């Protein structure tokens, strides 16, 4: 328990600081990255974190969404949205609430192989939603943490910053599929952009 608490504090610090770093980076996009963002593409930054409980893979993703930040936040606070915005999600079940937090059990994978775990999601500030795996419930992954941040962009749009960290406990899976799993995880900003824009239609 003590080791998990230390890991929790370390990852929490990383995720709380990451949105601030993301905002600083947002002003340092290259011309090509700015053009990609303007086209609705995702700009990604990948990183790895070593913690007492193991190695975490992760990354940051940025995308411009043609909707106001309040509209994007409304989607993020709807548990039903996560079936559409987390990649390879076959099932997303709301399994509980505690205050304003909600617990969502996710089953992800392909037709033949899938895994299940539960995340707890919390709106930390008007612009930040954070989520992390609930270790007290059955889980087929080692651990995961992440956040969504929405900031105003020109033309009434939103700059979304998404960050995620994932711990893979099993050596063979980690060896063979680590980068593929990271790639899937960083599809979330694009899936969220499509989901929001398909729901709302074009900006006036």
pLDDT block averages, 10 residues each, the chain of length 204: 44 48 58 89 81 73 94 94 88 91 85 79 93 85 86 93 78 50 77 90 58
31 located within any domain: yes
110 located within any domain: no
45 located within any domain: yes
104 located within any domain: no
Residues 172, 169: Cα–Cα separation, whole Å: 9
The pLDDT of residue 7 is: 47
Query: Looking at the 3D structure of the chain, how many domains does it have?
Result: 1
130 located within any domain: no
145 located within any domain: no
186 in Cβ contact with 45 (< 8 Å): no
Rounded to two decimals, what is the model's pTM?
Answer: 0.80
In sign, the C-alpha dihedral spanning 48, 53, 165, 138 is: positive
The pLDDT of residue 53 is: 66
50 located within any domain: yes
The pLDDT of residue 174 is: 47
- Residue 167 is part of which domain span? 2-90+151-200
The pLDDT of residue 44 is: 87
97 located within any domain: no
């Amino acid at each position: 328990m003590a080791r998990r608490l230390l890991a929790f504090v370390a990852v929490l610090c990383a995720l709380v600081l990451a949105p601030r770093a993301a905002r600083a980076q947002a002003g340092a996009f290259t011309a090509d990255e700015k053009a990609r963002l303007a086209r609705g593409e995702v700009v990604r930054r990948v990183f790895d974190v070593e913690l007492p409980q193991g190695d975490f893979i992760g990354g940051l993703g940025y995308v411009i969404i043609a909707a106001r930040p309040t509209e994007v936040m409304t989607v993020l606070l709807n548990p039903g949205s996560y079936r559409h915005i987390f990649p390879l999600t076959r099932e997303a079940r709301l399994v509980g609430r505690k205050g304003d937090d909600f617990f969502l059990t996710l089953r992800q994978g392909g037709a033949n192989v899938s895994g299940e775990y539960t995340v707890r999601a919390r709106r930390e500030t008007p612009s930040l939603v954070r989520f992390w795996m609930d270790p007290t419930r059955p889980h087929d992954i080692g651990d995961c943490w992440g956040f969504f941040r929405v900031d105003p962009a020109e033309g009434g749009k939103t700059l979304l910053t998404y960050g995620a960290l994932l711990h893979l406990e099993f050596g063979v899976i980690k060896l063979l599929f680590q980068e593929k799993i990271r790639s899937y995880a960083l599809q979330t900003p694009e899936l969220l952009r499509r989901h929001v824009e398909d729901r709302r239609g074009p900006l006036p």
